[in-house]
Amino acid sequence: MRQLDEAIRNLVDARSQGGLSQEAVAARIGVTRQLISLWERGHVHPNPIQLARWAAVVGLDVTIRASPAGSPLRDAGQLKTLGRARRLIGEQWSWRTEVPVSTEPLDRRAVDAGIRRGAVRIGLEVITRLSDAQAQVRAATLKQEAAGLDRMILILADTQHNRAAVRAAANTFLPAFPVSARGSLLDLRAGRLPRADAVVFV
């Protein structure tokens, strides 16, 4: 409960610093201003989905974990998707999984995988099923900024659902990830830094 209270304080601070009113946050989440007020005062607690949406609106990433300090377990789909990406990209890069974005003890965020060659550092975020494009793009972008990564590549499982979701959210994806999958893969396989961030289906 203490961690939740601290997260809510951070969300309130982020709203205030971002110049957002309770009404604006409520409208974007799809709840009432009165409910936002209750959340902020700790009288009512949001459910995990509401908490994630609230965080996305004010530019934060809230992670809920029920594991010890070690790396969280991954599902089989994520591991398979990451394995396919590794085979496509190749071994000319040094690979690490669950790379912390910060040395701050309270920041438990991690990039799903990090690849490095010389001074070039690239983050890979693995998504098996795209559900909330805006929130997932924002989370990846914030991780990239916090970790000081040269590029961020979203690795999506190649499914009809994910391709349709990316097409539907093109206005969200294209500004943040403008490079084609083919172009970024060609650069990565050659050990080069892609010219910008990208979405890759594997």
Q: 125 - beta bridge partners?
A: 154
pLDDT at 49: 85
Are 51 and 7 in contact by the 8 Å Cβ rule? The answer is yes
Boundary residue ending a domain (15, 30, 58): 58
- Residue 131 located in a structural domain: yes
pLDDT at 74: 56
pTM: 0.64
Same domain (yes/no): 190, 104: yes
Domain with 195 in it: what CATH number? 3.40.1350
Going residue by residue through the chain, which has 202 residues, state the pLDDT in tens, using 9 for 90 and above: 567 778 888 899 888 888 889 999 999 988 999 999 999 988 888 888 888 889 888 888 776 655 444 344 457 788 899 999 999 999 999 999 989 988 877 677 889 999 999 999 999 999 998 888 888 888 899 999 999 999 999 999 999 999 999 999 999 888 999 988 899 999 999 999 999 999 999 9
pLDDT at 108: 77
pLDDT at 121: 97
pLDDT at 102: 83
Domain limits at 15?
2-58
Same domain (yes/no): 91, 50: no
Same domain (yes/no): 195, 106: yes
Are 82 and 124 in contact by the 8 Å Cβ rule? The answer is yes
Same domain (yes/no): 42, 93: no
pLDDT at 103: 82
8 C-beta neighbours (distance < 10 Å), count: 19
pLDDT at 89: 94
